[in-house]
Amino acid sequence: MRATVIQAPGDIRLEDVPDPKIEEPTDAVVRVVASCICGSDLWSYRGENQFDPYRIGHEFVGVVEEVGSQVATVGAGDFVVAPFLYSDNACDNCRNGVQSACRNGGGYEGCQAEYVRVPYADGTLVATPERPDAGLLPSLLTLSDVMPTGWHAARSANVGPGSRVAVVGDGAVGLCAVLAARMMGAEQVIAMSRHADRQELARRFGATDIVEARGDEGVAAVHELTGGTGADSVLECVGTGPAMLQALGAARAGGSVGFVGVPHGVELPIRQMFRRNVGVKGGTAPVRSYLPELMQSVLSGDIDPGVVFDCELALDEVAEGYATMDERRAIKVLLRP
Amino acid sequence: MRATVIQAPGDIRLEDVPDPKIEEPTDAVVRVVASCICGSDLWSYRGENQFDPYRIGHEFVGVVEEVGSQVATVGAGDFVVAPFLYSDNACDNCRNGVQSACRNGGGYEGCQAEYVRVPYADGTLVATPERPDAGLLPSLLTLSDVMPTGWHAARSANVGPGSRVAVVGDGAVGLCAVLAARMMGAEQVIAMSRHADRQELARRFGATDIVEARGDEGVAAVHELTGGTGADSVLECVGTGPAMLQALGAARAGGSVGFVGVPHGVELPIRQMFRRNVGVKGGTAPVRSYLPELMQSVLSGDIDPGVVFDCELALDEVAEGYATMDERRAIKVLLRP
């Protein structure tokens, strides 16, 4: 089969690799219907992570091709959403709702490919009740990562009815975080963005205010929009030091920052956090935990997070997809094998 | 009047200073009935903070001597507990329950003294319904700082019914945090202590387990005591780097660290927090927020946090009090002018 390999920063290739097979009785092999490129894939692409060449991509939806003898909840022909990490959904951490820290969990071999082997298929995959309409495919694909990750930011920052929320980051995750905050009943959602197309999507997802300024100016703008107080909850969806400082500054005293951007060069100013009672919680989203509920919202048509995909390419064009995202010509690129 | 001045590390003196007076119509002057020495006073005493000589001490209970013309809720003769910071209890941060970040708040001029001027008396002081029995005095004095600070650690770490909790630090705040966790319904409370007298108090306050080990060994012991999972909530009541790392390590994936030890040399390992979804929240306790409820618990005899005072001295002996605490010959020293 064909699979995407990142050879070096900026060097994305589609290569022929062996077809995946059932290796354990708890495995499934899934034929990829759609995959995509993640903002976090760009850390490698831009050379900000050290790495040896590897098969890249971790988000996909597809149709189950084959299952191992112990797989009970999904079977050949089922349409499934795959959380970006597999999990047994049985260990103590999974039972605590933190499937991203599953004792037996981990990442797939690259999913920007034609097929993927899924360990612990029962604990990982969630099937739709029936084959979904083609139009729902992008939204279902967001459930593999970006939508539950935005949701996780909001949950980690205790967003609830009446909350005043600021969102740092206008990538797919940040936009999904706007949507999640509104779903949880936030009264005010301030999207921090300086790109017209993303601002428009943020508004569509329920943002009540847009702040273009960054850094201290951006912080001041959030305070002004919240009557001088700051936001109850700030959703940090970038992962850089400046983004985190902006998030901490935008929070009100006693507020919470939910962070889901993979930290790169982030140092938490603990004294400031102490003085202002601003907390920080988040991390790798437990997608499997949120997936059933969010799938309902997508299938019922209540939400359409799939609009974050503003570029669709064939898997053959994956290298172009990376360039498109790197140059911010697209918010998020969907790939069809 | 006489007031305690810290001239330099290790140099504590009782000096004659001018009596405090009403300066603003919202002030009260309170005659100190009992004051005490705080673990955080030792940062200066041990030379771990830079400072010019200052009047020290921030915890006290007393009897109102005089109030300004705009003070309505307390009057001369009232017995009051003073939170360790004053607050207007009216600004946005106060209304959000974070009186420790009051827009008009601050610290008193040293309270290891005979009298204290209290700005914003209405927003700060809480009077008992009647003059309390002498036996309740130590417990009421804990409400000025250590008991609500321990409470704040537990609240910040989301302790609730059934929680499994670990407490790092066996000073007065750590011991009060044990008590707070039990009051909130924690099922298991692991006190980390290697001092027999403090272990005994921790047990009396409801600790179910004691761990003497520190660092990686201490972390491993907490995991073992929680069935391999780690604690839902860890209460960090020290403020050093090793204490924080111990707290983060002892938490389960998805768990929370409530931190109330003033941070000295703490660096938060953000990548580890991200990977394990462990959050950190806390800071300067909003004592005024918790005081009415906790005062009820003391006056009704439900709790007796005052047993953390295992040494009582006259104000004249304040220097000896500091030495006693510094050398860990006492958990906490009560001073009577």
| Interface predicted TM-score of the whole assembly (ipTM), two decimals | 0.96
CB contact under 8 Å between A280 and B263, yes or no, is no
Of B229, B275, B286, the CB nearest to A283: B275
Q: Is the pLDDT of residue A166 over 90?
A: yes
User: Is the pLDDT score of A107 beyond 90?
Assistant: yes
Chain B residues whose CB is inside 8 A of the A101 CB are 253-254, 275-277
Alpha-carbon gap: B253 to the closest alpha carbon of chain A (Å): 6
- Find the chain B residues whose C-beta atoms sit closer than 8 A to any C-beta of A: 92-93, 96-98, 100-101, 156, 227-229, 252-254, 256, 259, 262-263, 266-268, 270-271, 273-284, 286
Q: Which residues contact A298 (CB under 8 A, 6 or more apart)?
A: A136, A139, A140, A143, A304, A305, A306
Chain B closest-CA separation from residue A157 CA (Å):
10
Closest approach of chain A CAs to the CA of B271, in angstroms?
Answer: 6
Q: Do B227 and A92 touch (CB under 8 A)?
A: yes
Whether A88 has a pLDDT exceeding 90, the answer reads yes
Contacts of B98 in chain A (CB under 8 A): 252-254, 277
Q: Which residues of A touch B154 (CB under 8 A)?
A: none
Domains defined for chain A, CATH in brackets: 2-145+286-336 (3.90.180.10), 147-282 (3.40.50.720)
Q: Would you call A254 and B93 a contact, using CB atoms and an 8 Å cutoff?
A: yes
How would you write the pLDDT of chain B (337 residues) with one tens digit per residue? 999 999 999 999 999 999 999 999 999 999 999 999 999 899 999 998 899 999 999 999 999 999 999 999 999 999 999 999 999 999 999 999 999 999 999 999 999 999 999 999 999 999 999 999 999 999 999 999 999 999 999 999 999 999 999 999 999 999 999 999 999 999 999 999 999 999 999 999 999 999 999 999 999 999 999 999 999 999 999 999 999 999 999 999 999 999 999 999 999 999 999 999 999 999 999 999 999 999 999 999 999 999 999 999 999 999 999 999 999 999 999 999 9
Interchain CB distance below 8 Å, A156 and B96: no
The whole-number pLDDT of residue A183 equals 98
pLDDT at position A188: 98
> What does the pLDDT read at residue B32?
98
CA of B218, closest CA in chain A: separation in Å? 20
Length of chain B in terms of residues written: 337
Select from B96, B266, B274 the Cβ nearest to the Cβ of A262: B274
Q: State the nearest Cα–Cα gap between B228 and chain A, in angstroms.
A: 9
Residue B98 and residue A253: Cβ atoms within 8 Å? Answer: yes
The kind and range of the H/E element at B54 are strand B54-55
- What is the mean predicted confidence (pLDDT) over A180-207? 97
Cβ neighbours of residue B200 closer than 8 Å, sequence gap 6 or more: none
Note the pLDDT of residue B45.
97
- Closest residue, chain B, to A96 (C-alpha): B254
* pLDDT for the residue A49: 87
Report the residue of A225, A274, A287, A290 to disrupt the B interface, i.e. the one with the largest count of B CBs within 10 Å: A274
Q: Which of B155, B274, B278, B289 to mutate to test the interface with A (most CBs of A within 10 A)?
A: B274
CA triple A251-A170-A116, angle to 5 deg: 115
> Do the chains contact at A156 and B279, CB–CB below 8 Å?
yes
Q: Which chain B residues are Cβ-neighbours of A271 within 8 angstroms?
A: 263
Which residues of A are less than 8 Å from B281 in CB distance? 256, 277-281
Q: Report whether A219 contacts A249 (CB < 8 A).
A: yes
Q: How does the average pLDDT of chain A come out, rounded?
A: 97
Query: How far is residue B325's CA from residue B312's CA, in Å, rounded to a whole number?
Result: 12
Asked whether the beta carbons of residue A259 and residue B274 sit closer than 8 angstroms, the reply is yes
Q: Determine the distance in angstroms separating the CA of A124 from the nearest CA of chain B, rounded to an integer.
A: 18
Contacting residues of B for A228, CB less than 8 Å apart: 92
Over pLDDT 70: what percentage of chain A? 100
The first and second tokens of residue A264, run together, are 């790169």
pLDDT at residue number A125: 98
pLDDT > 90? residue A103: yes
Q: Is it the case that residue A276 has pLDDT exceeding 90?
A: yes
Residues of chain A with a CB closer than 8 angstroms to some CB in chain B: 92-93, 96-98, 100-101, 156, 227-229, 252-254, 256, 259, 262-263, 266-268, 270-271, 273-284, 286
Residue (of A291, A320, A240, A221) closest to A74 by Cα position = A291
Do the Cβ atoms of A254 and B98 come within 8 Å?
Answer: yes
Determine, for residues A256 and B97 on separate chains, whether the beta-carbon distance falls below 8 Å.
no
Task: Identify the pLDDT of residue B312.
Answer: 97
